Amino acid sequence: MQLKNARVIITGASSGIGRAIAVEFGRRGARLALASRDQSALEEAAAAIKTDGGSAVVIPTDVTVDGAVKEMADAAIRELGGIDILVNNAGIGMTAPIADASSADVDKLFGLNVIAAAAAIRAVIPIMRAQGSGMIINISSMAGRVVIPRIGYYSASKFALAAIGDALRMEEPHRGIKVMNVFPGTTQSSFGENRLGIRGRQAHQVLPPVSAEKVARRVAQAVERDLRSVYISWFPDRAGLAANWLAGWAVSGVLRWWARRAHL
């Protein structure tokens, strides 16, 4: 799929990875519909994209509200004439031991990271089927590949999003619909500041984060190369995944040590 003239919805487009993807896709000629709750930030992002020669419209949306993603999709179709790509980026983090997390935080986490993302997929699939083409891009996490203590609920939500993407990829290829799951590691953004549960730097965040712009470039390249799974860095992302596969016992031992250390 080429990004030039592709009609793209990006959720969570007002900051972080979502905004960076919007800017990168805009530079490559995509026509963008930017969605999030923060209208002023969306308008600023759209203005920056247009100044750089791109095309963007703003669709303020709280994806956790019943019916909101259907309205978002309908608005994008009206504005763009169709939908070629959905970037399921809206999400929130959470740090809390499994036994100590609040039920309200757990509900909010899964409501945004899983339920709303799945609703967005269901909202755009009919137009993609009618067109005979489309792509779903789910922004998961390395925590959706390797379970990490104290972010277990977040990890579970990102495993769930990746599983939804993997199942959809098997269900829709004959209709021309492709699915890409993206697995960023720790990224420079306000994501950590907005997380649910415990705030502050966590024990597993021992390596310097990558920039949101690097994530965006990798996603854009992956679209044009028709990749199914996207990792941002060889180290620690791919190396960590390989170590978990080859020597899971050792990785688990290190993570248990981190979990104990966090309680000291």
Stretch 217-227: mean pLDDT: 96
182-210 per-position pLDDT tens digit: 999 888 766 566 789 886 555 445 567 78
Element of type H or E holding 178: strand 177-183
Selected residue with higher pLDDT from 192 and 1: 1
Average of per-residue pLDDT values in the chain:
89
Cα separation, 36 vs 62, whole angstroms: 6
Selected residue with higher pLDDT from 213 and 259: 213
- Among 153, 154, 159, 183, the active-site one is 154
Task: Identify the band that residue 211 occupies on the pLDDT scale cut at 50, 70 and 90.
Answer: very high
The model scores a pTM over 0.85: yes
Which of 121, 99, 112, 127 is CA-nearest to residue 157? 112
Which of 17, 124, 16, 111 is CA-nearest to residue 70? 124
Which of 232, 228, 221, 173 is CA-nearest to residue 3? 221
> Can you give the pLDDT at residue 250?
59
Domain at 7-262: CATH architecture = 3-Layer(aba) Sandwich (3.40)
Q: Alpha-carbon dihedral of residues 120, 111, 16, 38, nearest 10 degrees? A: 80
Q: Does 264 score more than 60 pLDDT?
A: no
154 included as an active-site residue: yes
Name the DSSP class of 209. P
Q: Which of 142-146, 196-200, 243-247 has the lowest mean pLDDT?
A: 243-247
> Over pLDDT 70: what percentage of the chain?
83
84-116 per-position pLDDT tens digit: 999 999 999 999 999 999 999 999 999 999 999
List the domain boundaries for the chain: 7-262
Q: Could you give the C-alpha distances from 222 to 25, 110, 125, 195, 226, in angstroms and in order?
A: 12, 27, 21, 28, 6
> Can you give the pLDDT at residue 192?
61
Q: Does 51 score more than 80 pLDDT?
A: yes
